[in-house]
Structure 1
Amino acid sequence: MSAKAEQTLVICGHGMVAQRLLEKLVAQPHRPFTRIVVFNGEASPAYNRIQLSALLAGDANEDSLQLQQPDWYQHNSITVHQGDPVTAIDREERTVTTASGRTQHYTSLVLATGSRSASLGLEGEGLEGVMGFRDLKDTRQLIHT
Protein backbone atom coordinates (compact mmCIF):
# COMPACT_ATOMS: atom_id res chain seq x y z
CA MET A 1 0.00 0.00 0.00
CA SER A 2 1.45 3.39 -0.95
CA ALA A 3 1.79 6.32 1.44
CA LYS A 4 -0.78 8.23 -0.64
CA ALA A 5 -3.35 5.47 -0.13
CA GLU A 6 -3.05 5.95 3.62
CA GLN A 7 -3.62 9.71 3.75
CA THR A 8 -6.64 10.45 5.95
CA LEU A 9 -7.65 13.98 6.87
CA VAL A 10 -9.88 14.42 9.91
CA ILE A 11 -11.59 17.76 10.44
CA CYS A 12 -13.07 18.54 13.86
CA GLY A 13 -15.89 21.01 13.30
CA HIS A 14 -17.96 21.79 10.25
CA GLY A 15 -18.69 25.47 10.04
CA MET A 16 -18.02 27.90 7.23
CA VAL A 17 -14.23 27.70 7.51
CA ALA A 18 -14.15 23.90 7.46
CA GLN A 19 -16.51 23.89 4.48
CA ARG A 20 -14.30 26.34 2.58
CA LEU A 21 -11.30 24.09 3.26
CA LEU A 22 -13.21 21.07 1.92
CA GLU A 23 -14.16 22.93 -1.24
CA LYS A 24 -10.56 24.02 -1.84
CA LEU A 25 -9.26 20.48 -1.28
CA VAL A 26 -11.67 18.80 -3.68
CA ALA A 27 -11.02 21.46 -6.33
CA GLN A 28 -7.35 20.49 -6.55
CA PRO A 29 -6.40 18.42 -9.60
CA HIS A 30 -4.52 15.93 -7.41
CA ARG A 31 -6.29 15.40 -4.12
CA PRO A 32 -3.84 15.37 -1.22
CA PHE A 33 -5.98 12.97 0.87
CA THR A 34 -7.52 9.68 -0.08
CA ARG A 35 -10.03 9.92 2.76
CA ILE A 36 -11.65 12.93 4.43
CA VAL A 37 -13.71 12.53 7.60
CA VAL A 38 -15.53 15.43 9.24
CA PHE A 39 -16.94 15.41 12.77
CA ASN A 40 -19.62 18.05 13.26
CA GLY A 41 -20.70 18.79 16.83
CA GLU A 42 -23.95 20.24 15.53
CA ALA A 43 -26.76 18.01 14.33
CA SER A 44 -27.31 20.22 11.27
CA PRO A 45 -25.18 20.16 8.12
CA ALA A 46 -22.77 23.10 7.61
CA TYR A 47 -24.68 26.35 7.15
CA ASN A 48 -24.08 30.05 6.62
CA ARG A 49 -24.04 31.55 10.13
CA ILE A 50 -24.05 35.06 8.69
CA GLN A 51 -27.63 34.47 7.53
CA LEU A 52 -28.94 33.48 10.98
CA SER A 53 -30.27 37.01 11.51
CA ALA A 54 -32.20 36.75 8.23
CA LEU A 55 -33.63 33.42 9.39
CA LEU A 56 -34.64 34.96 12.70
CA ALA A 57 -36.30 37.87 10.88
CA GLY A 58 -38.21 35.49 8.59
CA ASP A 59 -36.34 36.63 5.48
CA ALA A 60 -34.67 33.23 4.91
CA ASN A 61 -35.44 29.58 5.53
CA GLU A 62 -33.14 26.92 6.94
CA ASP A 63 -32.65 25.20 3.58
CA SER A 64 -31.26 28.42 2.07
CA LEU A 65 -28.52 28.50 4.74
CA GLN A 66 -27.09 25.07 3.86
CA LEU A 67 -23.61 25.40 2.32
CA GLN A 68 -23.73 22.20 0.25
CA GLN A 69 -26.30 19.54 -0.49
CA PRO A 70 -25.74 16.05 1.00
CA ASP A 71 -24.91 14.55 -2.40
CA TRP A 72 -21.94 16.94 -2.75
CA TYR A 73 -20.18 15.20 0.16
CA GLN A 74 -20.98 11.77 -1.26
CA HIS A 75 -19.78 12.79 -4.73
CA ASN A 76 -16.49 14.03 -3.23
CA SER A 77 -15.97 10.98 -0.98
CA ILE A 78 -16.26 13.02 2.22
CA THR A 79 -17.73 11.31 5.27
CA VAL A 80 -19.54 13.68 7.64
CA HIS A 81 -20.68 12.64 11.11
CA GLN A 82 -23.37 15.07 12.29
CA GLY A 83 -23.95 15.64 16.00
CA ASP A 84 -20.88 13.65 17.06
CA PRO A 85 -18.21 16.05 18.35
CA VAL A 86 -14.63 15.02 18.98
CA THR A 87 -14.03 14.71 22.72
CA ALA A 88 -10.44 13.44 22.79
CA ILE A 89 -7.32 13.57 20.64
CA ASP A 90 -4.51 11.07 21.05
CA ARG A 91 -1.55 12.67 19.28
CA GLU A 92 0.75 9.68 19.80
CA GLU A 93 -1.70 7.20 18.27
CA ARG A 94 -2.98 9.83 15.81
CA THR A 95 -6.62 9.16 16.63
CA VAL A 96 -9.65 11.16 17.65
CA THR A 97 -12.50 9.84 19.75
CA THR A 98 -16.02 11.23 19.57
CA ALA A 99 -18.85 11.64 22.05
CA SER A 100 -20.48 8.46 20.69
CA GLY A 101 -17.23 6.50 21.26
CA ARG A 102 -16.17 6.34 17.61
CA THR A 103 -12.38 6.28 17.13
CA GLN A 104 -10.88 7.53 13.87
CA HIS A 105 -7.22 7.41 12.80
CA TYR A 106 -5.77 10.40 10.98
CA THR A 107 -2.59 11.34 9.15
CA SER A 108 -3.55 15.03 9.22
CA LEU A 109 -5.86 16.78 11.65
CA VAL A 110 -7.61 20.15 11.39
CA LEU A 111 -9.35 21.78 14.34
CA ALA A 112 -12.05 24.08 12.98
CA THR A 113 -14.39 24.25 15.94
CA GLY A 114 -15.34 27.91 15.67
CA SER A 115 -16.06 30.04 18.69
CA ARG A 116 -18.64 30.65 21.36
CA SER A 117 -20.13 33.96 22.45
CA ALA A 118 -18.13 35.48 25.28
CA SER A 119 -19.64 36.02 28.67
CA LEU A 120 -19.91 39.69 29.56
CA GLY A 121 -19.65 38.96 33.27
CA LEU A 122 -22.85 40.87 33.98
CA GLU A 123 -25.28 40.16 36.77
CA GLY A 124 -28.23 38.18 35.47
CA GLU A 125 -26.45 36.49 32.56
CA GLY A 126 -27.44 33.08 33.90
CA LEU A 127 -31.12 33.89 34.30
CA GLU A 128 -33.79 32.03 32.40
CA GLY A 129 -34.50 33.71 29.08
CA VAL A 130 -30.99 35.15 28.72
CA MET A 131 -29.08 33.41 25.96
CA GLY A 132 -26.41 33.76 23.35
CA PHE A 133 -27.17 34.00 19.63
CA ARG A 134 -24.51 31.97 17.87
CA ASP A 135 -25.89 28.96 16.04
CA LEU A 136 -28.92 27.37 14.43
CA LYS A 137 -30.05 25.86 17.72
CA ASP A 138 -30.05 29.33 19.34
CA THR A 139 -31.94 30.76 16.36
CA ARG A 140 -34.60 28.04 16.51
CA GLN A 141 -35.02 28.66 20.22
CA LEU A 142 -35.45 32.40 19.67
CA ILE A 143 -37.99 31.83 16.89
CA HIS A 144 -40.08 29.56 19.11
CA THR A 145 -39.90 31.86 22.15
Structure 2
Amino acid sequence: MQIPTWRSAAEVRLAEALEEGLLSGEEIQSACAGGSLEAFGDVAPEAAAEICDVLGGLRCYIPTLPHEPGSLFDDLSAEARNLLLEVAGGDAVAIPRLYRLRLLVRDRVILALRQAGASTTELAQQFQCTDRAIYQVLEKHRGDGCRPMSEHR
Protein backbone atom coordinates (compact mmCIF):
# COMPACT_ATOMS: atom_id res chain seq x y z
CA MET A 1 0.00 0.00 0.00
CA GLN A 2 1.22 3.46 -0.86
CA ILE A 3 1.75 5.75 2.12
CA PRO A 4 -0.84 8.54 1.97
CA THR A 5 0.12 12.19 1.68
CA TRP A 6 -2.50 13.23 4.24
CA ARG A 7 -1.82 13.04 7.96
CA SER A 8 -5.22 13.34 9.61
CA ALA A 9 -8.74 12.15 8.91
CA ALA A 10 -9.80 15.71 8.14
CA GLU A 11 -7.42 15.71 5.15
CA VAL A 12 -8.75 12.46 3.65
CA ARG A 13 -10.09 12.99 0.12
CA LEU A 14 -13.17 10.79 -0.25
CA ALA A 15 -13.04 10.84 -4.05
CA GLU A 16 -9.47 9.49 -3.99
CA ALA A 17 -10.40 6.86 -1.39
CA LEU A 18 -13.26 5.74 -3.64
CA GLU A 19 -10.90 5.52 -6.63
CA GLU A 20 -8.31 3.55 -4.64
CA GLY A 21 -10.90 1.07 -3.37
CA LEU A 22 -10.68 2.17 0.28
CA LEU A 23 -14.39 3.04 0.13
CA SER A 24 -17.27 1.60 -1.85
CA GLY A 25 -20.05 3.45 -3.59
CA GLU A 26 -22.49 1.81 -1.17
CA GLU A 27 -20.62 3.32 1.79
CA ILE A 28 -20.87 6.79 0.25
CA GLN A 29 -24.59 6.25 -0.39
CA SER A 30 -25.09 5.03 3.19
CA ALA A 31 -23.26 8.05 4.62
CA CYS A 32 -25.33 10.44 2.47
CA ALA A 33 -28.65 8.77 3.36
CA GLY A 34 -31.06 10.98 5.22
CA GLY A 35 -29.03 14.14 4.72
CA SER A 36 -28.91 16.96 2.22
CA LEU A 37 -26.81 14.82 -0.14
CA GLU A 38 -29.09 11.79 -0.20
CA ALA A 39 -30.08 12.38 -3.83
CA PHE A 40 -26.43 12.82 -4.87
CA GLY A 41 -25.30 9.53 -3.33
CA ASP A 42 -28.08 7.66 -5.09
CA VAL A 43 -27.19 9.14 -8.46
CA ALA A 44 -23.39 9.23 -8.43
CA PRO A 45 -21.31 8.34 -5.37
CA GLU A 46 -18.20 9.71 -7.11
CA ALA A 47 -19.80 13.13 -7.54
CA ALA A 48 -21.14 13.10 -3.95
CA ALA A 49 -17.63 12.32 -2.66
CA GLU A 50 -16.15 15.13 -4.74
CA ILE A 51 -18.81 17.61 -3.57
CA CYS A 52 -18.08 16.73 0.08
CA ASP A 53 -14.32 17.05 -0.52
CA VAL A 54 -14.63 20.52 -2.04
CA LEU A 55 -17.63 22.04 -0.25
CA GLY A 56 -17.92 19.91 2.92
CA GLY A 57 -18.84 21.89 6.01
CA LEU A 58 -20.39 24.78 4.08
CA ARG A 59 -23.97 25.89 3.67
CA CYS A 60 -24.22 27.11 0.09
CA TYR A 61 -26.88 28.55 -2.12
CA ILE A 62 -26.89 26.50 -5.31
CA PRO A 63 -27.80 28.72 -8.27
CA THR A 64 -30.21 27.53 -10.93
CA LEU A 65 -27.95 28.62 -13.78
CA PRO A 66 -24.37 27.59 -14.53
CA HIS A 67 -21.88 29.34 -12.26
CA GLU A 68 -19.81 32.40 -12.87
CA PRO A 69 -16.02 31.97 -12.93
CA GLY A 70 -14.43 32.65 -9.57
CA SER A 71 -17.16 30.96 -7.51
CA LEU A 72 -16.95 28.10 -5.04
CA PHE A 73 -17.86 25.67 -7.79
CA ASP A 74 -14.67 26.19 -9.83
CA ASP A 75 -12.97 23.29 -8.04
CA LEU A 76 -15.72 20.83 -8.96
CA SER A 77 -15.67 18.70 -12.08
CA ALA A 78 -18.30 19.41 -14.73
CA GLU A 79 -20.16 16.23 -13.73
CA ALA A 80 -20.35 17.23 -10.05
CA ARG A 81 -21.32 20.83 -10.93
CA ASN A 82 -24.11 19.69 -13.25
CA LEU A 83 -25.40 17.19 -10.70
CA LEU A 84 -25.42 19.88 -8.01
CA LEU A 85 -27.36 22.25 -10.29
CA GLU A 86 -29.81 19.52 -11.30
CA VAL A 87 -30.55 18.16 -7.84
CA ALA A 88 -30.29 21.25 -5.63
CA GLY A 89 -30.47 24.25 -7.98
CA GLY A 90 -32.24 27.17 -6.33
CA ASP A 91 -31.85 25.79 -2.80
CA ALA A 92 -29.54 26.49 0.11
CA VAL A 93 -27.85 23.20 0.98
CA ALA A 94 -25.68 22.25 3.93
CA ILE A 95 -22.88 20.04 2.56
CA PRO A 96 -21.74 17.48 5.15
CA ARG A 97 -18.08 16.73 5.82
CA LEU A 98 -18.75 12.99 6.25
CA TYR A 99 -16.07 12.95 8.94
CA ARG A 100 -16.94 9.43 10.20
CA LEU A 101 -16.34 8.13 6.69
CA ARG A 102 -12.98 9.91 6.61
CA LEU A 103 -12.08 8.28 9.94
CA LEU A 104 -12.98 4.89 8.49
CA VAL A 105 -10.62 5.48 5.53
CA ARG A 106 -7.85 6.55 7.91
CA ASP A 107 -8.42 3.43 10.04
CA ARG A 108 -8.30 1.17 6.97
CA VAL A 109 -5.01 2.70 5.89
CA ILE A 110 -3.57 2.29 9.40
CA LEU A 111 -4.64 -1.38 9.45
CA ALA A 112 -3.16 -2.04 6.01
CA LEU A 113 0.14 -0.36 6.86
CA ARG A 114 0.34 -2.25 10.16
CA GLN A 115 -0.29 -5.55 8.35
CA ALA A 116 2.46 -4.58 5.91
CA GLY A 117 4.89 -4.34 8.83
CA ALA A 118 4.84 -0.72 9.95
CA SER A 119 5.43 -0.20 13.67
CA THR A 120 2.96 1.64 15.85
CA THR A 121 5.56 4.37 16.40
CA GLU A 122 5.99 4.86 12.64
CA LEU A 123 2.22 4.98 12.21
CA ALA A 124 1.85 7.49 15.05
CA GLN A 125 4.44 9.74 13.40
CA GLN A 126 2.83 9.37 9.97
CA PHE A 127 -0.66 10.21 11.23
CA GLN A 128 0.50 12.79 13.80
CA CYS A 129 -1.04 11.08 16.79
CA THR A 130 0.11 9.06 19.78
CA ASP A 131 1.01 5.38 19.90
CA ARG A 132 -2.02 4.96 22.14
CA ALA A 133 -4.31 6.36 19.41
CA ILE A 134 -2.88 3.82 16.94
CA TYR A 135 -3.43 1.01 19.44
CA GLN A 136 -7.03 2.18 19.91
CA VAL A 137 -7.62 2.02 16.14
CA LEU A 138 -6.11 -1.47 15.99
CA GLU A 139 -8.19 -2.61 18.97
CA LYS A 140 -11.39 -1.06 17.58
CA HIS A 141 -11.06 -2.99 14.34
CA ARG A 142 -9.49 -6.19 15.64
CA GLY A 143 -11.18 -9.08 13.88
CA ASP A 144 -13.65 -7.02 11.86
CA GLY A 145 -11.34 -6.04 9.01
CA CYS A 146 -12.78 -2.52 9.18
CA ARG A 147 -16.45 -3.27 8.57
CA PRO A 148 -18.47 -1.20 6.12
CA MET A 149 -20.02 2.01 7.51
CA SER A 150 -23.51 0.48 7.47
CA GLU A 151 -22.43 -2.02 10.15
CA HIS A 152 -20.98 0.57 12.55
CA ARG A 153 -22.91 1.61 15.63
TM-score, with normalisation over the residues of structure 1? 0.23
Which structure has greater helix proportion? 2
TM-score, with normalisation over the residues of structure 2? 0.22
